[in-house]
Amino acid sequence: MTFMEFLNMGGYAVYVWSSVGLTVAVLIINVITARRAVSQELERLRKRYANEANTGASQ
């Protein structure tokens, strides 16, 4: 089996490689959105605790 035969996947290369590409894209998007959500939540919590410290809410 040559490398070109492997890439051709027995004539199903379009389906196989598009599926692989779509899967990788979804996984990358998932990681990016999860990291963004964590960053936004941490920023929200920082603001909340800073506001509580400034207003004396822990009396």
The band of 55, judged by pLDDT with boundaries at 50, 70 and 90, is confident
> Is the pLDDT higher at 59 or at 30?
30
Q: How many CB atoms lie within 10 A of CB 8?
A: 14
pTM (predicted TM-score): 0.71
H or E element at residue 45:
helix 13-55
13, 20, 44, 55 from 25: Cα distances, Å: 18, 9, 29, 45
13, 28, 38 from 21: Cα distances, Å: 12, 11, 26
